[in-house]
Amino acid sequence: MTQTLEPRTGTAPRTPQQRVDDWLARFDSALSAGDPAEVAGLFAVDGFWRDLVAFTWNLTTSEGRDQIADMLGARLADTGPSNWVTAEPPTETPDGVAEAFVEFETQSGRGSAHLRLRPAADGNDEAWTLLTTLQELKGHEEPQGHGRPLGAVHGTDADRRSWAQKRDDEEAELGRTAQPYALIIGGGQGGIALGARLRQLGVPSIVVDSHDRPGDQWRKRYKSLCLHDPVWYDHLPYLPFPENWPVFAPKDKIGDWLEFYTRVMEVPYWSKTTCTGATYDEAAQRWTVELDRDGEQLTLHPTQLVLATGMSGKKNTPVFPGQELFAGEQHHSSEHPGPDAYAGKKVVVIGANNSAHDICKALVENGVDTTMVQRSSTHIVKSESLMEIGLGALYSQQAVDSGMTTKKADMVFASMPYRIMHQWQVPIYDEIRERDKDFYDSLTAAGFDLDFGDDDSGLFLKYLRRGSGYYINVGASELVADGTIKLAKGGVDHLTQGSVVLSDGTELPADVVVYATGYGSMNGWAADLMGQEVADRVGKVWGLGSDTTKDPGPWEGEQRNMWKPTQQPGLWFHGGNLHQSRHYSLYLALQLKARYEGLDTPVYGVQEVHHLS
């Protein structure tokens, strides 16, 4: 995958800084000459250029010289890139790969980049991976640092309203006498992060959500729910978690933080608001959106509509024969209240991924007779192993202590092309599998079906490809292994008045059935709100086209329809975990800001639709 750097014959080895400076000089010269083929020739034959908005006004990955030349042929003249300089001293890996954080400019903005160089046969270096990202628009910078608002009124001012009065007046007008440019449907971490970005960029927007308060999406889940990702991975834009924040935040702390964040960042947020329908006017290039705001019927006309309903938002509740006959309680895991009401009852949980494990663990710890039904294999990784081996270099206290920042970690994380990410992940999970061999052996002995993904690449690729099929173990697996959580395997055939019957005839007595069966594609929300025609125009949301389980090909190279233009004008999708909500909200916000300001935004590589859901 990499080569060992050999010095040019008769010369001293070049430093990483010299290697990067030399390549950037040749790169800048070729760009300035307007020669896409010459630029592409500076990349390895198997090189990659991933661009987040800076060149393409899109999220794209160009794979190999031909695709790189094609992208530049379409976008180089309009982009006008220049001033490529290292942001800090480059480094070199033991196998001779030079890595650098780079800054640059385009005609419309300023960007950050991450570069990896490998030695070529001619003694020069060639680019293996290049990530370019737009960070701000020229003339439309966020008011921060030296440009932060004064706040106080010094001297004379005809407008003597206080900050709070101005904010209240703006809130009263927005959505009534003044239309939002962007309407964000969904007020979880994704909608709130994007709302904060747009607020700072001066884009009139409203976040709407059906819950009573920001954060209720977390508060109303089962009481044992905690984040399975560590705190360093989960910061929101502008306002990181405090230094004393728990490594794995309980759901109620996350709920309170989101409510606090919404207030402090002054995100225009309408709670108790349900979107009942939306239609797009092609001629006017705007939406008509019908809302019910706590009983008041309102019609808004935003130019841009963002579905931030979450990839884990539209519940997938299966239909089995006999459900109408079942005498007990049935509910989806998203509606599970916790174990308190089920003392003395028998609970059957259909599913064997994150939610199923969390729910089963809480039930048995409260003395409830609990059976987990595993219908297909599950990838499991211990939380401590994932933190130390999988995330530690970028998102950990040790990483922070060594000088790693959230932005730098996000750039490194984003710089690895999806096409070859598995090559980096397989060794990590091989190491984890060896380290935790006894743990995995105990699960296998209990009859639990394990997998590490179709190509043994583990958690992150499963998440990116399908968003399901895994559990980060925080204690439930040991309870499965020792039989405390009973394990049943196979498909569900039907329900009776008092049991769940599996395909092999096994009958599981039940007073309660919990469907921990995951969530559907985000374009299901588009179908509900805008009709199936719009949903089909957009196509499947999420996945890479890897042609692995639940991620059908052809290869897409980026997450389908996420954070970028879709085939439906004015419709965007935003969401994912806290990390993705933080990182990708910047690029979506800049795309919306550019359109709000009337900048030219020619999109390269709009995604084709291969799958409808």
pLDDT digits (tens, 9 = 90+) for 460-500: 999 999 999 999 999 999 999 999 999 999 999 999 999 99
In this predicted structure, the answer to whether residue 3 has a pLDDT above a threshold of 50 is no
Q: Considering the entire predicted model, what is its pTM?
A: 0.94
Amino acid at 229: D
pLDDT digits (tens, 9 = 90+) for 557-590: 999 999 999 999 999 999 899 999 999 999 999 9
With residue 193 as reference, give the H or E element that holds it.
helix 189-201
* Cβ(51)–Cβ(71) below 8 Å: yes
- Reported confidence tier of residue 312, pLDDT bands at 50, 70, 90: low
- Reported confidence tier of residue 313, pLDDT bands at 50, 70, 90: low
pLDDT digits (tens, 9 = 90+) for 192-250: 999 999 999 999 999 999 999 999 999 988 888 888 899 999 999 999 999 999 999 99
Say how many C-beta atoms besides its own lie within 10 A of residue 506's C-beta. Answer: 14
* Cβ(82)–Cβ(100) below 8 Å: no
What is the token pair recorded at 351? 């599913």
- Reported confidence tier of residue 1, pLDDT bands at 50, 70, 90: very low
Q: Average pLDDT in the 496-525 region?
A: 94
pLDDT digits (tens, 9 = 90+) for 81-124: 999 999 999 999 999 999 999 999 999 999 999 999 999 988 89
pLDDT digits (tens, 9 = 90+) for 352-391: 999 999 999 999 999 999 999 999 999 999 999 999 999 9
* Cβ(42)–Cβ(23) below 8 Å: yes
In this predicted structure, the answer to whether residue 314 has a pLDDT above a threshold of 80 is no
With residue 18 as reference, give the H or E element that holds it.
helix 16-32
Closest to 85 in 3D by CA, of 101, 108, 109, 106: 101
- Residue 603 φ then ψ, to 5°: -90, 130
* Cβ(308)–Cβ(208) below 8 Å: no
What is the number of residues in the chain? 613
pLDDT digits (tens, 9 = 90+) for 128-156: 999 999 999 999 999 998 889 888 777 77
In this predicted structure, the answer to whether residue 68 has a pLDDT above a threshold of 70 is yes
DSSP E strands, 301-425: 304-307, 329-332, 346-350, 369-374, 379-382
